[in-house]
Amino acid sequence: MTERITIVQAARNYGQRVHDAAGCTYGDEKESYIVHLDDVHNVLEEFQEVFMYENDRWNTRAAAYTHDTIEDAQQTFNNVKDATNVEVAKITLAVTDVPEENRLLRHLMTLPKTVKDYRALILKLCDLKANSGRGQQSKNSMYRKYQKEWTGYKRYILTTAISRYPNEINKKVFDELIYAVDLSHGYFRRPLK
């Protein structure tokens, strides 16, 4: 247990250090980027029972702190691996955006590689909830864009892809996570039973 907590703490320290060094800030208020990383981790911690295997829980919780390091803080797969472990680096790489000419193409090129790793898929959902939740609270300029992307294509891709992982994912907890992401995006549907 201590080793697993240590990997999450190591990932947090690493994520904060490299984002600070790269001058990354979060939101319209230009907060320290650790605010976003903590938000993603907290969502993941709340829904961690979505994973059937404990190692997936801890590696993905660590990846909550490294998920933007490659695309935003000029880190590499090997940098992430050296700071954490190879599984955390794989999850991080799977959610890292593919460079493209616009936001839509970037997402449409990235999501297929994200859904190939169920841990990355869950992490992406937690990232979306964290972004939209904070955006909704602070009236962030990106919130409307998040809403359109969720209802336009992200929801369909991510909820459809999960069927590939019946033995790795707790479907009931997954449905609760989707409901939470829906609510944070203002996407209202029938409540869970």
Q: Residue 19: which H helix or E strand, with range?
A: helix 2-21
Q: Report pLDDT for 161.
A: 95
pLDDT class for 30, splitting at 50, 70, 90? Answer: confident
| Number of separate domains in the chain | 1
φ/ψ (deg, to 5) at 25: -130, 170
Q: Report pLDDT for 28.
A: 74
CATH number for the domain spanning 131: value is 1.10.3210.10
**193 within domain boundaries:** no
Determine the Cα–Cα distance for residues 100 and 115; give it in Å rounded to an integer: 18
Q: 52 with 167: CB under 8 angstroms?
A: yes
Closest-CA residue to 64 (of 135, 154, 126, 111): 126
Q: What is the pLDDT of residues 123-177, one digit of tens each?
A: 999 999 999 887 666 666 788 888 899 999 999 999 999 999 999 999 999 999 9
**116 within domain boundaries:** yes
In the chain, the amino acid numbered 171 is: K
Q: Report pLDDT for 188.
A: 73
**190 within domain boundaries:** no
